[in-house]
Structure 1
Amino acid sequence: MSSTPTADPAPTVKKGEDHEVHAQGEHAGHSTAMFKNKFWLSLVLSVPVVLFSHMFATIVGYTPPDFPGAMWISPILGTIIFCYGGAPFLKGGVSELKTRQPGMMLLIAMAISVAFIASWVTTLGIGDFNLDFWWELALLVVIMLLGHWMEMRALGSAAGALDALAALLPDEADRVTDAGIETVSVSSLATGDVVLVRSGARVPADGEIIDGVAEFDEAMITGESRTVHRTVGEVVVAGTVATDNAVRVRVTAVGSDTTLAGIQRLVAEAQASSSKAQALADRAAALLFYFALVAGILTFIAWILLGSPDDAVIRTVTVLVIACPHALGLAIPLVIAISTERAAKAGVLIKNRMALERMRSVDMVLFDKTGTLTEGRHAVTATITSGTMSNAEMVALAAAAESDSEHPVARAIVNAALDTPEAAGFGYRGSDFSSMTGRGVRAMVNGSEVTVGGPNLLKELQLGTPSDMRDAVQEWVGRGASVLHVVRDGAVIGALRLEDRVRDESRAAVTALQDRGVKVAMITGDARQVADAVGAELGIDEVFADVLPHDKDSKVAELQSRGLKVAMVGDGVNDAPALARAEVGIAIGAGTDVAMESAGVVLAGNDPRSVLAMIDLSRASYRKMIQNLVWATGYNLIAVPLAAGVLAFAGFVLSPAAGAVLMSISTIVVALNAQLLRRIDLSPERFTT
């Protein structure tokens, strides 16, 4: 049985809740606050216990204070520490006995119980034993309380960070009504309401921008430090900040349906999920229990046979005391807790800890193309003109003609002009706009008739592609791009290539994965020529094209049949079967889909470079787990025989005091080693094209 505390299911995000309570988590009624309080009180009480200990005074070399009743200070305060501070471990030990699953809690309970009984035997003068373990008992309990406090605090950190984010939600929102703008509480917002988000203000609920353009700080959700440009039709998430302009947002999700609530659920699932590494630690603890028990029995028998009953008791008690596996108890849980917290702060939400563990051994990452490696919307990726007209002027004319259209292609052309300072400088304006269904659009621009459309438009106008543009246009068509021609006053003046634009981040992600020895594949329902063009641009190792959504999982199985361990990265909607089949399923993109059951990991943002954070964190976590396990188990395997007296013939016996000190050092080393995970840089900005 694990002693690792687990978090309660995450609550619905509501402004005004006591978020600290949710971050604490509980295990068998033990909260972070409880361990904290018991630790500090036990620490204060342990100071006089240690100070008045004759054994400790002998080790350090001083004379303990002596006055009437001084001899009872350590026993009385030690008893209080045992009953108060040791209660969680005693209860946990009883629970493990009842379930017949001995583990860390039972070992801890056995160690402090043996120390407690042996110390009282010595204090009361029963027999001729020098088993004054009061100071070891006090330090054992204090160290164990500290370790459990640290562990539970780390386990609650990810949820705590997200709860703190929820606490940053505004108390009030500016709701837009027919009568004007009214200030209401966030809790009163409903789906369909329109709210005004002013410059510098936080978005009060998930929604869609219906008016305005702004840069949004989404770092608290995605871990991405740079602001993100959001315009009409795009989704914004509660808690993010409009940094430069005011926008109007139509509310699409409130309460438990919001992204924040979904993220909290994910973190809670991650903290409650099982882990092979944790199972390994639990088995090690069970084996260590039997090892300590058998070692204690053999030690007692051996020293009795040697004719030294006093040594038999002292050595046996020492073996049982220093066999306490608190370092082992921290070896795995603390690493997992810190890695889960670090991942959450980097926008990588671990639903299942097994996914993080498997990521270190992945051989191939299979990306869905649309919306993952690409932006998932049309963008102008190339332009060409005929004659002497500049590309900027041609784009400006096309954008002016398309300015009144709401078609996604029209939006792409207008955005291309806005992103090109030279095009925006022409100041062209369109009028008399009309749409020609299936062919394109027509408008008057600066006194000239400008039409924009595809092949059907040229056929209707009985025009052909100018010779100086023909080769480029044919190459565009060959790669599967959409081609729109721009016609002014009956003459073709240029053409635009529109494609699903490849994310700049994708290039960096693919290169970095390959540098780590991980192959990269892409899967898409697009035509072969489109897929190959994207694959060639990114340098992808293998491309699957013309794949229907329900066939994507068979491609994952095909890769697995080659002996590859696959991580599948998709949008989590039509990729669900493939996400579930892969060794690691990673859903990309923030929104209400963050709670998908098909993926083991959700990237809160849409940056494919976050996959690198998973791999780096997985490999680093594994190294820390192995290092901690080796240190923790190695200490016990060496210290227990020494405490039993296997080298007594050579004049060396590990004293109870030295054993307690070594045990403390072992625990501290394991805890500090796990904390080194916090030094790993998981920011996507590490990887640039």
Structure 2
Amino acid sequence: MKKTTLRVTGMHCASCAVNLEKALKKTPGVTAASVNFATQKATIEHAEHVHANELAGVIGTQGYAAFEESTAHHGHVDDAAEVRNDLLVAAPLAFLVFVLSFVESTPPILLFLLSLPVQFWAGRLFYKRTWAALKRGSADMDVLVALGTSAAFFYSAAVTFGFLNGSLYYDGATVIIAFILLGRYLEARSRSLTGEAVRKLMDLQPKTVRAWRNGRETEVPADSLGKGDIFSVRPGERIATDGMVVFGDSSVDESMVTGESMPVEKKKGDSVVGGTVNGNGALRIRATRIGSETMLAQIVKLVEDAQAAKAPVQLLADKVAAVFVPAVIVIALASSAYWLFLAHSTFEFALTIFVSVLIVACPCALGLAMPVAVLVGTGKGAEHGILIKGGDALEAAGKIDTVIFDKTGTLTKGKPEVTDVVKFGKDDALRFAAIAERNSEHPLAQAILAKNGRVPNPSSFRNVAGKGVKARYGGKEITVGSRKLVKCDAKTDGIAKRLEAQGKTVVFVGVGGKCVGVITIADTLKENAAQAVASLGRKGFRTMMITGDNARTAQAIADEAGITAVIAEVLPEGKEKEVARLQSEGRRVAFVGDGINDAPALARAELGIALGSGTDVAMETGGIVLVRNDLRDVANAIDLSRYTLRKIRQNLFWAFAYNVAAIPVAAGALYSYGVTLDPMVAGAAMAFSSVSVVGNALLMKRWKPETV
């Protein structure tokens, strides 16, 4: 048995995925098939003799396009491009036909010619998918669009060429197609960033590496590294793959994996992770894991699996379509047959009834109900620094009951700062420490220097690997670092332990062989973080914090933020598993993060909220991005999403209510009272329903955030 993953383009709703899955499962040699609307992928298990081209052909017969996705490269396809090109044809021509329809002197043949490319070029996919739907014995919105617009077009053509007497409805046919294409284009745009997270993750791996071959350092492609190969990493470079240090000392920024804001000291024998950033020392590393075995590859897989595991967005319009479309067709046929055979009306009147029912039932308002509301809602969010990526995020926000925060860079500022200085005696411990650290690039040294401003250079400077620094200034020796470097008495050690219990990193300062003070450095809580947590609590959300940092530091930050539930010392897969565990308990989870190590959890959660100051990967994986980095916008984003979702539901309700009320009138139910709905009035009613949907969506412009 083989498993093939195909990238599918052209799916515009969840029912497309369901229908495509059914078609694949009926293919000889296919044992299982899963089509995911959210990721636009089809995963098929099949016999060895079945080729990917055959499977792509099956998908092609259903009106979609498919190609095999390379496992080595994540190709990018703009799913919105095809819809955009069709829209560029349909929109201007539909507008022109609409305007000219009100000009009495317009020749009907001109309207016919202008409508042709809209009906049969821009609208060609409606016909293709209608044919595929009819072959499998089902009906969806594409069928209704094709039937309704075709009825209007061919009826108008018959009038144009003198076969019938009546009005022209070219404007109705072309405007419906243009509006439906507009709605689908907006939806396609909202999905176009789905694969960006994976691409950004893959970009973290260097393309080339300096490997040792035959005793010489040679630059080679990173993917040519084998297990056991030795390669060099200079200061500031990303490490090419997982490995073990064989030579050198340095600090490595592993925040993408652990979330720990402080760099980790590395020496011979220590393990390193591919994609992490080397600090101020040169390293030689032996590759221990390559390709799909690396930590970065595992994070990529977690993101892909989590995205694929999301249930496709089942819009109300798609759920009802299975019943609504066949019902409309039956009503149109039955009502026209009644007037022709039982009421003995003319053929033209019966045909008018048939066309009126199909036109009045055309899902123009349904096609706009979600996209227009999403467009206005996301635009309003953008005004206030809240970027909502589409309908998936909106639907998820409506169900959230638990909000999980990452710590480093999300609740905290993400960089070390001096928080306390305890002096013993008259010497200025902070100033002496800054002088000693003047030539150091260690992040802790930078925090000390940031607190002091300009300080003089020491006369000598030496880095003591893994312990700190030694320097001379004014004839005195200054030592700055850990207990291993700076000797201190029991009282000083007790003070240091008390500060460490608060989750702070303690740096000892010695002058002339005597400990003159201790400096504490920590990643401090962001402004408004506690206010944001309190706001969520008042709204009934359960708040939690999860981090790769140590438990002591995590608890200190959680206490300050007002969060009682804390999970610490977890790797990226651990964060994702914790989210999945809460989901298995029935929780609807929103995850707020900013780092690469948050990407799997952001993807797994019902709603991922990323900070604009975070990594590209986090922002691409999150369904909502907070541009202002103000954590109070978490509550605002959820509130705006829920408000937008309410408007979508209202729009869908009114669109369906319009159809339920108008279809019987179009079918002639009130004919005995002198009330009829000819195709022209039906087209006007359809247009009115679309305007009402847009108008309701525009009311969202009144929304304001709780905090500014």
Per mean C-alpha deviation after superposition, the further-off stretch among 290-299 and 637-646 is 290-299
What is the CA-CA distance between 1:663 and the residue it aligns to? 0.4
Q: Which residue of 2 aligns with 1:452?
A: 480
Deviation at 1:358, TM superposition (A): 1.7
What code does the residue aligned with 1:382 have? D
TM-superposition CA deviations, 1:204-234 (whole Å, max 9, x none): xxx9968xxxxxxxxxxxxxxxxxxxxxxxx
Which of 410, 421, 427 aligns to 1:383? It is 421
CA contact (8 A) 2:336 2:350 kept: yes
Alignment partner of 1:479 out of 502, 510, 515: 502
1:668 aligned onto 2:691: yes
- Pick the aligned partner of 1:108 from 136, 139, 145: 145
Secondary structure class of the residue paired with 2:510: strand
For residues 96-135 of structure 1, the aligned pairs below 5 Å read: 96-119=133-156, 132-134=166-168
Which of 535, 543, 553 is the matching residue for 2:558?
535
CA distance in 1, matches of 2:560, 2:363: 54
8 Å contact from structure 1 (residues 104, 329) kept in 2: no
Take 2:172 and 2:141, find their aligned partners in 1: how far apart are those partners? 17
CA contact (8 A) 2:86 2:122 kept: no
Inter-partner Cα distance in structure 2 for 1:377 and 1:2 = 44
**Relative to structure 1, is the Cα distance of residues 474 and 332 closer, same or farther in structure 2, using a 3 angstrom cutoff?**
same
Is 2:436 aligned against 1:401? yes
Output one character per residue of 1:50-105: Cα deviation in whole Å (capped at 9) or x when no partner: 434xxxxxxxxxxx69xxxx676666766786556655544443343334342222
Equivalences for 1:101-250 in 2 at 5 Å?
Answer: 101-119=138-156, 132-134=166-168, 136-149=169-182, 151-152=184-185, 155-156=188-189
Deviation at 1:277, TM superposition (A): 3.5
- What is aligned with 1:429? 457
The alpha-carbon distance between structure 1 residues 665 and 24, as it changes in their structure 2 partners (threshold 3 A), is: farther
Say how many residue pairs are matched.
Answer: 554
- Are 2:112 and 2:170, in contact at CA under 8 Å, matched by a contact in 1? no
Provide the C-alpha distance between the structure 1 equivalents of 2:235 and 2:156, rounded to a whole number of angstroms: 68
Matched, 1:642 2:665: yes
Q: Distance in 2 between matches of 1:674 and 1:457?
A: 66
- Normalised to the residue count of structure 1, the TM-score between the two structures is 0.64
Q: Tell me, yes or no, if the aligned pair for 1:115 and 1:133 is still in contact at 8 Å.
A: no
TM-superposition CA deviations, 1:258-277 (whole Å, max 9, x none) = xxxx99xx99x999x98424
The RMSD of aligned alpha carbons is: 5.4
Q: For residues 2 and 644 of structure 1, do their structure 2 counterparts lie closer, same or farther at Cα, with a shift above 3 Å needed?
A: farther
Task: Determine the C-alpha separation between the residues in 2 that align with 1:36 and 1:637.
Answer: 32
Q: CA deviation at 1:648?
A: 3.2
Does the residue aligned with 1:429 lie in a helix, a strand or coil? coil
Who is 2:31 aligned against?
none
8 Å contact from structure 1 (residues 570, 586) kept in 2? yes
**Contact kept? 1:594, 1:602, Cα under 8 Å:** no
Retained in 1: the 8 A contact 2:433–2:448? no
Aligned-residue offset at 1:642: 1.7
Q: Distance in 1 between matches of 2:692 and 2:307?
A: 26
| Residues 348 and 602, structure 1, Cα contact 8 Å, conserved in 2 | yes
**Partner residue in 2 for 1:283:** 319
Sort the Cα spacing of 1:83 and 1:34 in 2 relative to 1 into closer, same or farther, 3 A: closer
Q: Which runs of 5 or more structure 2 residues have no equivalent in the other structure? A: 1-9, 17-36, 41-64, 70-75, 197-220, 223-233, 238-298
Deviations 1:610-636 (A, max 9, x none): 755753453244223212211221111
Paired with 2:320 and 2:109, the residues of 1 have a C-alpha distance of 39
The letter of the residue matching 1:115 is A
**What residue in structure 2 maps to residue 296 of structure 1?**
332
Over the matched positions of the two proteins, sequence identity in percent amounts to: 30
Answer with 519-528 or 73-82: which moved more: 73-82
Distance 2:638 2:524 in 1: 26
Say if 1:293 and 1:414 are closer, same or farther in 2 by CA, change over 3 A. Answer: closer
Shift in CA distance, 680/398, structure 1 to aligned 2, threshold 3 Å: farther
Answer yes or no: is the 8 Å Cα contact 1:429–1:446 preserved in 2.
Answer: no
- Structure 1 residue 639: Cα displacement: 0.9
Structure 1 residue 326: deviation in Å?
1.6
CA contact (8 A) 2:93 2:114 kept: no
Q: Answer yes or no: is 1:44 the counterpart of 2:96.
A: yes
Kindly provide the amino acid, as one letter, of the partner of residue 444 in structure 2: A
Whichever residue aligns with residue 401 of structure 1, its letter is A
Q: Which amino acid is 2:453 matched to? A: A
CA drift of 1:158 comes to: 8.4
Instruction: Report 1:48-127 matches (<5 A).
Output: 48-52=100-104, 87=124, 89-119=126-156
Distance 2:112 2:463 in 1: 92
Task: Give yes or no for contact 1:335–1:624 (8 Å, CA) kept in 2.
Answer: yes
Alpha-carbon separation, structure 2, partners of 1:111 and 1:333 = 21
1:36–1:145 CA contact under 8 A, matched in 2: no
Tell me the distance in 1 between the aligned counterparts of 2:495 and 2:137: 75
CA distance in 1, matches of 2:615, 2:556: 29
Q: Which amino acid in the other structure matches residue 651 of structure 2?
A: N
1:25, 1:156 within 8 Å by CA — same for their partners in 2? yes
Residue number in structure 1 paired with 2:62? none
Amino acid in structure 2 at the alignment position of 1:25? A
CA contact (8 A) 2:405 2:411 kept: yes
* Contact 2:90–2:174 (8 Å) recurs in 1: no
* Distance (whole Å) between structure 2 residues aligned to residue 493 and residue 633 of structure 1: 77
For 2:346 and 2:236, locate their aligned partners in 1 and report how far apart those are by CA, in whole Å: 82
Change (3 A) 1:79 1:559: closer
Corresponding residue of 1:175: none
Query: C-alpha deviations, 1:152-210, integer Å up to 9, x for none?
Result: 267448869x99xxxxxxxxxxxxxxxxxxxxxxxxxx99xxxxxxxxxxxxxxx9968
Contact 2:596 2:618 in 1 (8 A): no
Counterpart CA distance in 2 for 1:502 and 1:395 is 22
Q: Distance in 1 between matches of 2:641 and 2:352?
A: 44
Residue in 2 that maps onto 1:34: 86
Q: Which of residues 350, 356, 370 is equivalent to 1:332?
A: 370
- 1:503-582 to 2 correspondences below 5 Å: 503-504=526-527, 506-507=529-530, 509-545=532-568, 552=575, 555-556=578-579, 559-560=582-583, 563-569=586-592, 582=605
Alignment of 1:598-617 (within 5 A): 601=623, 607=629, 609=631, 611-612=634-635, 615-616=638-639
Distance 2:500 2:114 in 1: 85
| 2:610–2:619 CA contact under 8 A, matched in 1 | no
Cα distance, 1:400 vs structure 2: 0.8
How far has the Cα of 1:495 moved from its partner? 1.9
Give the SS at the match of 1:97: helix
Please tell me the residue identity of whatever aligns with 1:501.
T
In the TM superposition, what is the alpha-carbon distance from 1:527 to its structure 2 partner? 4.5
Relative to 1, partners in 2 of residues 1:95 and 1:519: Cα closer, same or farther, differing over 3 Å?
Answer: same
For 1:451, what is the secondary structure of its paired residue?
Answer: strand
Distance 1:563 1:274 in 2: 15
